[in-house]
């Protein structure tokens, strides 16, 4: 039943399809060593899927029923794992990209002894349960990643496979590529029609082929059914040929119930180490439900009491019982615990010998496992001399990376084809590339350090999540800030999973100039700040950039985006102004009022801080005591205690002005009712950045006028000015200067 196609072979037609397109009856065979007790366990998994969804009244039973044979085979035979040590470093990883079929995973975790019990399956999708509607990493033992948004898991799996190769190169550099290492393992993943319809899976799979990730096996559940029923209405390409074009090893299994054929395909996929493998597995969703198999009705809703009972009769289960699991079945499935312990026991002496013989790598291994930074690493951070001509913060970021790379071998990254623009590639560092993929410009090897994501921002975000999930490396990826839109779903998932990935988002404002409004971010800072758990850091100069990088790396429980300028920004004279160390607190007093007690506070981020400083000079010269606060990261500032926040923004000082080349959203909380917000309420234009700032009212003169207006409003109690928040821009409010 397994057709092991190569690029030159035509994909086989699915043998289970009749001439009318309806699936024929499957052929049920077992691999060598399996018995009818294994078949009973598989059917038990189907019954549990039906009963769990029926009990809660909602969920996705059909795919969990049809994937039960594959999932059982993976967890009982092919995945190298030890349920008694779920974090064993040499374990294989399993990614269920179609997270809606969470029961596919939950039943196998229950069978395998990961801590889930029958009551947990009964509590599916209910408050406080270990079995939420989609798998969540850190919530349920044995779940390797949070999935649900389709396609993301495919990207995660690619990232895990890349991380596995990189980590092996860090810890075991003496073992050549192609030779067996004690750190080698396989990433197994399942994808659905929906996963492969989402563009992110194409991006990630294309890169996986380029990277020749022979440690990655993806099984495509080709059931041809989605919520809107038959996928023929929207999804008709030959997926196998697509993956062959990507450079994958492709096989077909025409009958998902033919466990012997599935087993043979998985064996061939694991044996293929020179390229990633795809197994196209034809299944019948909802099998063997008499009336709802192969229909959209089996995809996303309970089958109904009558249909559940009818299906149980087909399977030989008592229709009057629910959650029926025989002692014999559970005892049989949990023998995987002993097999897992035995595999780990066989591996442990090899690891102990490696540890004894490789003291430096072993120390690094221990440090990376806990994401602990080495003592004194921050001493390598550069400091930058004052310079009114300045330096782009993207350039400063590149200098920071070059300085700390020798101290942090776990740090690696790249960009979405924008290395020179993002300054993400450290000179002299090898690229992460198969030997056959190296070029005159980019050389390296399979264990290299510079990542090339290609023009694939969405996949880059998801792949970085997979890298972070896999182990202790610290990964970053760069693109223009406006293109963070392409990767937003992956960024949100990184925040949800609390992953320490870093986004290098450059070209941060209209300050990028001539490329014009398609490339100039306006709403992006506010949109990113709205993601709970994401640190958004926009440094004002080179020294703030260095402290920002240090602080980002000191956090191992969250993602961060560092927002960097294309244009040069003055390097602040820290003998005249406050130390950049205040960056770590999110906001700090950069320039104090001459009297020590400000009449007005000007606050800003990034490239607009210099505008606030220039406005302060004018206000002070006119006799108005003025404080300037740099606010590189609102999230870090919110973490400070109230006394510090009140010290930076004294509650008694009501006159306040914020300046940021972006929409006003979010700044009202800082400036208060009497405050004024200078920003943009429109898109940019193509011109020199200096001209744009002038035309759009982002000038020191506009700040001075807004400050005087705010002082007057604060003294009179007038509060918010009529007409909105934004001062400046192409359209002027009544009373704006």
Which residues are known to be catalytic?
457
Q: How far apart are CA 571 and CA 594, in angstroms?
A: 22
Going by C-alpha positions, the residue among 587, 588, 591 that lies closest to residue 576 is: 591
Q: How far apart are CA 149 and CA 467, in angstroms?
A: 18
On whether the CB atoms of residues 78 and 188 are closer than 8 A, the answer is: yes
Going by C-alpha positions, the residue among 144, 66, 148 that lies closest to residue 102 is: 148
Going by C-alpha positions, the residue among 392, 383, 371 that lies closest to residue 475 is: 371
Other C-beta atoms lying within 10 Å of the C-beta of residue 360: 8
- Distance in angstroms between the alpha carbons of the first and the last residue of the chain: 77
For the purposes of burial, counting CB atoms within 10 Å of the CB of 411, is it exposed (0-12), middle (13-18) or buried (19 or more)? buried
> Which residue shows structure tokens 């993400």?
424
Per-residue tokens: 50: 């039906």
CA 618 vs CA 613, 622, 692, 703: distances in Å: 9, 6, 22, 10
On whether the CB atoms of residues 668 and 725 are closer than 8 A, the answer is: yes
Peptide bond into 331 cis (omega under 30): no
Q: Which residues contact 609 (CB under 8 A, 6 or more apart)?
A: 540, 541, 569, 590, 628, 630
On whether the CB atoms of residues 97 and 192 are closer than 8 A, the answer is: yes
Largest CA distance in the chain: 91
Q: Put the strands of the sheet holding 502-506 in their side by side order.
A: 444-445, 431-432, 450-452, 411-415, 474-480, 502-506, 560-563, 535-537
Helix axes 199-211, 457-470, angle to 10 degrees: 70
Q: Put the strands of the sheet holding 249-253 in their side by side order.
A: 2-3, 249-253, 277-282, 216-222, 187-192, 93-96
Q: How far apart are CA 4 and CA 269, in angstroms?
A: 9
Per-residue tokens: 166: 């990189």
On whether the CB atoms of residues 710 and 674 are closer than 8 A, the answer is: yes
Reported as type and span, the H/E element at residue 192 is: strand 187-192
Q: How far apart are CA 205 and CA 163, in angstroms?
A: 15
On whether the CB atoms of residues 340 and 82 are closer than 8 A, the answer is: yes
Q: How far apart are CA 663 and CA 702, in angstroms?
A: 16
Q: How far apart are CA 43 and CA 288, in angstroms?
A: 10
Numbered residues of the known binding site: 60, 100, 148-150, 193-194, 223, 225, 299, 394, 421, 483, 507, 515, 519, 566
On whether the CB atoms of residues 280 and 23 are closer than 8 A, the answer is: no
For 381: left if phi > 0, alpha if psi spans -120 to 50, otherwise beta; the answer is beta
Which residues share a beta bridge with 727?
Answer: 678
Peptide bond into 288 cis (omega under 30): yes
Q: How far apart are CA 278 and CA 222, in angstroms?
A: 12
On whether the CB atoms of residues 152 and 462 are closer than 8 A, the answer is: yes
Reported as type and span, the H/E element at residue 685 is: none
Going by C-alpha positions, the residue among 35, 171, 184, 46 that lies closest to residue 121 is: 46
On whether the CB atoms of residues 457 and 487 are closer than 8 A, the answer is: yes
């Amino acid at each position: 039943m397994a057709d092991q196609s190569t690029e030159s072979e035509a994909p086989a037609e699915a043998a289970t399809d009749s001439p009318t397109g309806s699936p024929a009856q499957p052929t049920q065979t077992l691999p060598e060593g399996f018995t009818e007790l294994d078949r009973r366990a598989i059917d038990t998994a189907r019954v549990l899927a039906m009963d769990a969804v029926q009990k809660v009244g909602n969920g996705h039973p059909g795919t969990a029923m049809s994937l039960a044979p594959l999932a059982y085979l993976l967890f009982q035979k092919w995945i190298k794992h030890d349920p008694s040590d779920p974090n064993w470093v040499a374990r294989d990883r399993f990614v269920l990209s179609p997270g809606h079929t969470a029961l596919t995973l939950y039943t196998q975790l229950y069978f395998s002894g990961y801590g889930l019990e029958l009551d947990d399956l009964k509590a599916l999708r209910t408050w406080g349960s270990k079995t939420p509607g989609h798998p969540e990493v850190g919530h349920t033992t044995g779940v390797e990643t949070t999935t649900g948004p389709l396609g993301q898991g495919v990207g995660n799996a690619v990232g895990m496979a890349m991380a596995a190769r990189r980590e092996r190169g860090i810890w075991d550099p003496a073992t050549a590529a192609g030779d067996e290492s004690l750190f080698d393992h396989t990433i197994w993943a399942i994808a659905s029609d929906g996963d492969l319809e989402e563009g992110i899976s194409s991006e990630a799979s294309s890169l996986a082929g380029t990277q020749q990730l022979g440690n990655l096996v993806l099984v495509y559940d080709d059931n041809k059914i989605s919520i809107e029923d038959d996928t023929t209405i929207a999804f008709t390409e030959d997926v196998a040929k697509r993956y062959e074009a990507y450079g994958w090893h492709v096989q077909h299994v025409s009958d998902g119930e033919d466990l012997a054929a599935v087993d043979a395909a998985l064996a061939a996929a694991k044996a293929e180490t020179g390229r990633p493998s795809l197994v196209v597995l034809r299944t019948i969703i909802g099998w063997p439900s008499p009336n709802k198999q192969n229909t959209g009705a089996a995809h996303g809703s309970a089958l109904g009491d009558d249909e559940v009972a009818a299906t149980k009769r087909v399977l030989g289960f008592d229709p009057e019982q629910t959650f029926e699991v025989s002692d014999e079945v559970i005892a049989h499935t949990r023998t995987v615990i002993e097999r897992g312990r035995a595999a780990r026991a066989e591996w442990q002496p090899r690891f102990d010998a490696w540890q004894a013989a490789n003291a430096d790598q072993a120390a690094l291994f221990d440090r990376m496992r806990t994401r602990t930074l080495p003592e004194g690493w921050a001493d390598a951070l550069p400091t930058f001399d004052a310079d009114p001509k300045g330096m782009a913060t993207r350039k400063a970021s590149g200098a920071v990376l070059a300085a700390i790379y020798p101290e942090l071998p776990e740090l690696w990254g790249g960009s979405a084809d924008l290395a020179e623009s993002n300054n993400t590639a450290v000179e002299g560092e090898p690229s992460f590339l198969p030997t056959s993929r190296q070029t005159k410009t980019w050389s390296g090897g399979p264990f290299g350090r510079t990542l090339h994501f290609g023009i694939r921002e969405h996949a880059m975000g998801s792949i970085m999540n997979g890298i972070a999930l896999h182990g202790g490396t610290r990964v970053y990826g760069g693109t223009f800030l406006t293109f963070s839109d392409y990767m937003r779903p992956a960024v949100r998932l990184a925040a949800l999973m609390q992953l320490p990935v870093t986004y290098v988002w450059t070209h941060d404002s209209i300050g990028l100039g001539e490329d014009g409004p398609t490339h100039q971010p306006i709403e992006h800072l506010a949109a990113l700040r709205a993601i709970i758990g994401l640190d958004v850091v926009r440094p004002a100069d080179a020294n703030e950039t260095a402290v920002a990088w240090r602080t980002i790396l000191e956090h191992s429980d969250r993602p961060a985006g560092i927002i960097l300028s294309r244009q040069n920004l003055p390097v602040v004279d820290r003998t005249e102004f406050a130390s950049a160390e205040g960056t770590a607190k999110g906001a700090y007093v950069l320039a104090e009022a001459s009297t020590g007690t400000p009449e007005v506070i000007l606050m800003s981020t990034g490239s607009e801080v210099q505008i606030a400083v220039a406005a302060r000079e004018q206000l002070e010269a006119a006799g108005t005591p003025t404080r300037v606060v740099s606010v590189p990261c609102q999230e870090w500032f919110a973490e400070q205690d109230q006394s510090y926040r009140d010290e930076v923004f004294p509650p008694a000082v009501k006159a306040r002005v914020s300046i940021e080349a972006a929409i006003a959203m979010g700044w009202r909380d800082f400036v208060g009712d009497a405050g004024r917000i200078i920003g943009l309420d429109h898109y940019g234009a193509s011109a020199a950045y200096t001209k744009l700032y002038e035309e759009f009212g982002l000038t020191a003169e506009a700040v001075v006028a807004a400050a005087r207006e705010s002082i007057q409003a604060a003294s009179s109690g007038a509060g918010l000015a009529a007409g909105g928040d934004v001062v400046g821009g192409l359209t002027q409010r009544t009373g704006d200067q």
